[in-house]
Structure 1
Amino acid sequence: MGSKRHRLKNWLVVEGRSQEWLAKNSKVSRHTISEICTGKRNPSVPTIKKIMSAIKRVNKNAKAEDFFDI
């Protein structure tokens, strides 16, 4: 059985953006982004805020709840 792909990873694929893009634009390490996308890590609130700041530059209507169980 494979693991369910994280909603953040799904968004990156749909938008045609890389984890590197998200890491650079959110100032969150590539390693942390990778672990979140593979479900190995649950992000902290400050990390969610950084990621959402980058996402909102692309989609101003995006909400943290669209990507994370908060």
Structure 2
Amino acid sequence: MKVFGLGKPRSKLGKFLDRHGISQQELVKKSKVNKATISRLCSGDAFQPSMKNAQKVIKAIRELTGKNVDYDDFWSM
């Protein structure tokens, strides 16, 4: 299993990716969301994505993991 983000603060999304062995780069490719945006989303819970980007990220995660994740799993309204 791959280990990502050692020693860095991780958001709920970042921790989820780590647990499932998904790299941020894989998520960038699958979601077509900017690399800097994915990086900010994974590095702390303070950053909230636009609804458009959130939908792209959720769709990509569902395709990569087969899990039925939702906005509330990673961000609060």
TM range (shorter): 0.7 to 0.9
| TM-score between both structures, scaled by the size of structure 1 | 0.85
More helix by share: 1
Aligned to 2:48: 42
Q: Give unmatched runs, 5+ long, in structure 2.
A: 1-7
> How many Å apart are 1:69 and its aligned residue?
1.1
* 2:66 paired residue number: 59
| Residues 20-58 of structure 1, C-alpha deviations (whole Å, 9 max, x = no match) | 000000000111100111126321100100000101112
Offset of 1:4 from its aligned partner?
A: 5.3
- With structure 2 as the length reference, what TM-score do the two structures score? 0.78
Amino acid paired to 1:64 = Y
Runs of at least 4 residues of structure 1 off by over 6 A? none
Q: Give the superposed CA RMSD.
A: 2.0
CA distance in 1, matches of 2:37, 2:73: 19
Match of 1:32 among 33, 37, 40: 37
Give identity over the alignment, percent. Answer: 37
